[in-house]
Chain A
Amino acid sequence: MTEPLITTPLRERAAQALGDRFLHEALDIATTRFIALRRDAFGDFPEGEALRDRARAIKEATLQRLDAHLETLVANIERLGGHVHFATTAEEAREIVLDIARRTGARMAVKSKSMATEEIHLNDALQAIGVTPVETDLGEYIIQLAHERPSHIIAPAIHKTKGQVAELFSRELRRPGLPADPEVLTKIAREELREKFLTADLGITGANFAVADTGTVVLVTNEGNGRMVTSLPRVHVAVMGVEKVIPSMTDLAVFLAILAKSATGQKLSVYTTLVQGPRRPGELEGPDEFHLVLLDNGRVAQLAGPLRESLYCLRCGACLNVCPVYRQIGGHAYGYTYPGPIGILLTAMLNGPASVRDLSHASSLCGACADACPVRIDIPRMLIELRREVDVRGIAPRSERIVFKALARLLRSPTLYRLAARIGRAAQRPFVSDGRIRALPSFFGEWTKTRDLPSIAARTFQERWRDLS
C-alpha cells in the first residue's frame, strides 16, 4: 500500500548526511547553481510574475472542476485509440502496469524519469514478474545501477562523484578502466541505452501535464529519452497523478513558460513531447498501444483536505534548491520518494501523518520555498498545519506533547507567565554567559546543542513598564 514507515530517526539520517563531506559540497554547488540559473531566467522575463499567478489560478480552477476535466481527458484519449485505467492505490497502479506487461509479453521496459512510478515502487514489481526495468534518464540510470534512490527531483544523482560513476560503469557494464570524465561516461550510457531503446517492448513514463480537451500527455525532458520511450517500443504506459490534468493547450503554453525556468533556468527544456494516443494509421513509428494510468494514492482525499494546495505542484525542484534544510541534508535523509519542503507535504499525503512526525519539523519555516515555487504554493502554512495534525492525533513524542501543553497553558495566563519568568530568571543563572545560554542540561541540551538561547532579561519589559507608569 503506502511506503513502509522509515524507522531510523530523522536525526540519525540527517547526521549521516551531514557527515558526508562530498554530498555536502555537491549539494551546495548544485543548489547554488540552480538558484542562480532560476533567478537569471526570471530576471530576463518580465512577464514571469504574472504568468506564475495565471498558472496558480489555472491549477486551482482545474481542481474546482477536476471531475469534468478528467472525464474530458478520458473521453479524448479513448477517442484517439488509447486506454485509460484508474488506480485508487499504489498497489492497484502497479497491478495495472503488470497486467499490461504480462498481456503484451514484455521482457524489458525502458523508463523515462518519473516520480509517479518511483512513488508506486514500480521497478521492483516489474522485476518480480521477470520484466527488466531500465531507467534511461542518465541520473536515474546511474542510481539504478548503484541500487540507490534519487536524491533530487530533477538531478537524481547529484550525490555521486564522476569518479564513483566511472567505477560504477566499469564494474556494472563490464567496461574496465573507464576515466572519470563526464563526456566519456555519457557516451557510454548513450551506447548502452540506445541498444535498450531499440529492443525494449514496453515504454513507461510519467507525465508533466495532460491536456484534457485534446487528450494529450505532455513529457518534458532534456536528454530525449522521453521521445525514445514514447516512440520506439510497441507499448507505451504513462502513469500520472490526477492533479496533472490541465484544461487546454492555452493553459499548457502558460506552464511551459515557467516550468523549465524554475527547474533548470532554461527558457524551455530541450524536448517537450506532446503524445496523443498510439501510432496513427499513416504513421511510420509509434506504439501500437497507449495506456494512461490515472493515480489517486492519497491525492483525491486532499481535494478537501489540509494539503489541497500541494496538488498544484509541478515537480520542478525549485523549493528543494532554496530550502536551508534540504541544502544541508540532501534528498536521501528525508527517507521517502519526495524530498524537500514539498516532499514533506507529499509524503504526508501518500503515507499519512505518522510518516511526517519528525519530517514536519525539518523546516525553519523561512518561506523561501513559497517564494521560489512557480505556482506560489504556501508550503510553510501547510507544514504548520501538519505539525498541528501530528500533535492533535497524538503522534508526536510524549515529551514534546507535554512541553507544548505546558507552554500553551503558560502563555494563556499572565500570572503564570510572570511567575515562570521569575523562576526562569533564577534557574538560568548557572548557564548564562554574556547574556546567552549556550548549554542546558539533560534533554533541554538538545536545543542548545546547535544554537544559543537569549537569556531572560534581569528585568522584563512588563516590570520596567510598571515602574514607568
Chain B
Amino acid sequence: MTSHKLGPDDGASSSRRAGARTTKAEFLARVRGEMAKTPGLFVAAPAERPAQPRQRLELLRRELSERWPHTLERFRAEFEHVAGVFHRVPTAADVPAALERICRERGARRVVSWPSEELGVAIAPVLGAAGIAVEPMPRAVPPDAERLRIRAAVAEADVGVTGADLAVAETGTLVLVAAAGRPRSTSLLPPCHVAVFDRTALVESLEQVGLALEAWHEGPAPAERGAVINFITGPSRTADIELTLTRGVHGPKEIHALFVDGGLGLHG
C-alpha cells in the first residue's frame, strides 16, 4: 500500500483561488488531519518543566553561592578555551582601572558602555581622565535622529562594555538580556567586548540556564525587558575558508570577562 503522499500538497494549493493565502485555520486543520492518522512512532514526552521556576531559581542561587569559587574556576577555564580573556578584580572600585588597562593595551580611544546604573559601577570618570571617551547608552529611547547617531557611534567604537546576566561554567558562555539601557549592539558592533559581572551571575550548566529562562518567563515580562536574549560563547569566528579558524568576522574579535570578587552595586 502506498496511500501516503510524498512531496508538497500542490493539489491543495492550486485548487485555491489564485493569490489567496492559506489561513491559520486551514493550516492547522491540515496539521490536525495528518496527525489524526497516526499515534506517532513511540510513547514520548517533552522535557519536564520545573513547577514554580522563580522559586527554584532562587533556591539554586542560594546553593550556588556556597560553591561559587569552583564554578568561577570552571567558567574561567571554559571561557579561555573559547579564546576569551579572563580578568579578576577585588572590588567594583577596581573596575575602571582594569578597563583603562584593557583600552590602553589596544590603543582604544572610544568606549561605548551600558550606563553605570546597569553596570553597577561608574567607569566614565577614570577612563575620561585617561583620555578615553566613554559614551553611555541612554536608558530612555531618544528620537530617531539621535538613535541613528548612537548607532554610528557604537559602530565606530573600539570597545563595548556591558554587564552579564549569566556566566555559564559548562560552556564559558555569557548570557545578556537586552532591555532599556542594555542595548544589543554594545556587545556586537565594537571589535572588543568587555563584560563586567560578579558571583551572582554564575551558573554551572546549560540545564540551569534552562531553569533561569523558565523563571524569567514566568508571569508577564517586566516593562523594561527587551526582545532579545543573547548567549555569547567566545569571539565571533568562522572557518568558512579552507577550515582556517578566523576571529572577528562580524562580531567582536576579542571578548573579555571582568569578574568582580566583591560584587557590583546592582543588587541592593
In contact, B243 and A155 (Cβ under 8 angstroms): yes
In contact, B183 and A283 (Cβ under 8 angstroms): yes
Annotate B171-208 by CB proximity to A: 1 below 8 A, 0 otherwise: 11100001110011100100000000000000000110
Contact of B232 among A56, A246, A270, A351 (CB under 8 A): A270
Contact of B35 among A186, A187, A303 (CB under 8 A): A303
In contact, A230 and B7 (Cβ under 8 angstroms): no
In contact, B38 and A304 (Cβ under 8 angstroms): yes
List A residues 293-322 near B (Cβ within 8 Å): 294, 296-298, 300-309
In contact, A252 and B244 (Cβ under 8 angstroms): no
Closest CB of chain A to B49's CB: distance in Å? 5
Interface residues of B (CB under 8 A from A): 2, 4-10, 12-13, 21-24, 26-28, 30-32, 34-35, 37-42, 44-50, 78, 82, 137-138, 140-142, 147, 150-151, 155, 170-173, 178-180, 183-185, 188, 206-207, 209-211, 213-214, 217, 223-244, 246, 248-252
Given contacts A182-B242, A300-B30, contact A80 B8 (CB under 8 A): no
Annotate A356-383 by CB proximity to B: 1 below 8 A, 0 otherwise: 0000000000000000000000000000
Question: Which B residues lie within 8 Å of A282 (CB)?
Answer: 140-141, 179-180, 223-224, 226
Q: Which of the segments A273-281, A324-332, A422-430, A446-454 contacts the partner chain?
A: A273-281
In contact, A64 and B228 (Cβ under 8 angstroms): no
Cα distance A353–B7 when bound, in Å?
7
Question: Which A residues lie within 8 Å of B224 (CB)?
Answer: 282
Cα distance A165–B155 when bound, in Å?
27
Question: Which B residues lie within 8 Å of A281 (CB)?
Answer: 141, 223
Closest CB of chain B to A362's CB: distance in Å? 17
Report if A189 contacts B (CB, 8 A): yes
Closest CB of chain A to B212's CB: distance in Å? 9
Cα distance A61–B44 when bound, in Å?
5
Closest 8 CB pairs of A and B: A224-B251, A253-B210, A352-B7, A282-B180, A304-B37, A139-B240, A249-B213, A272-B231
Cα distance A39–B220 when bound, in Å?
42
Cα distance A203–B169 when bound, in Å?
32
Report if A242 contacts B (CB, 8 A): yes
Question: Which B residues lie within 8 Å of A98 (CB)?
Answer: none
Number of A residues with CB within 8 Å of any CB on chain B: 126
In contact, B188 and A349 (Cβ under 8 angstroms): no
Question: Which A residues lie within 8 Å of B49 (CB)?
Answer: 248, 250
Closest CB of chain A to B151's CB: distance in Å? 7
List A residues 178-222 near B (Cβ within 8 Å): 182-183, 185-187, 189-190, 193-194, 197-198, 213-214, 222
In contact, B38 and A92 (Cβ under 8 angstroms): no
Closest CB of chain A to B262's CB: distance in Å? 29
Annotate A141-179 by CB proximity to B: 1 below 8 A, 0 otherwise: 010000000000001111011100100000000000000
Q: Which of the segments A7-15, A82-90, A412-420 contacts the partner chain?
A: A82-90
In contact, B242 and A162 (Cβ under 8 angstroms): yes
Cα distance A353–B185 when bound, in Å?
46
Given contacts A276-B227, A280-B227, A283-B227, contact A307 B6 (CB under 8 A): yes
Offer 10 A-B interface pairs, CB within 8 angstroms, sorted by A: A58-B46, A64-B35, A242-B31, A250-B210, A272-B230, A300-B9, A302-B4, A303-B35, A303-B37, A304-B38
Interface residues of A (CB under 8 A from B): 1-2, 26, 29-30, 33, 54, 56-58, 60-64, 66-67, 70-71, 74, 80, 84-92, 95-96, 136-139, 142, 155-158, 160-162, 165, 182-183, 185-187, 189-190, 193-194, 197-198, 213-214, 222-225, 227-228, 230-232, 242, 246-254, 256-257, 264, 266-286, 290, 294, 296-298, 300-309, 348-353, 355, 389, 392-393
Beyond known contacts A70-B31, A222-B236, A224-B188: 11 more, CB 8 A cutoff? A26-B242, A60-B40, A157-B241, A182-B244, A254-B47, A268-B231, A280-B225, A282-B141, A284-B141, A303-B34, A307-B6
Contact of B21 among A92, A190, A353 (CB under 8 A): A92
In contact, B6 and A86 (Cβ under 8 angstroms): no
Contact of A2 among B7, B26, B37, B40 (CB under 8 A): B7
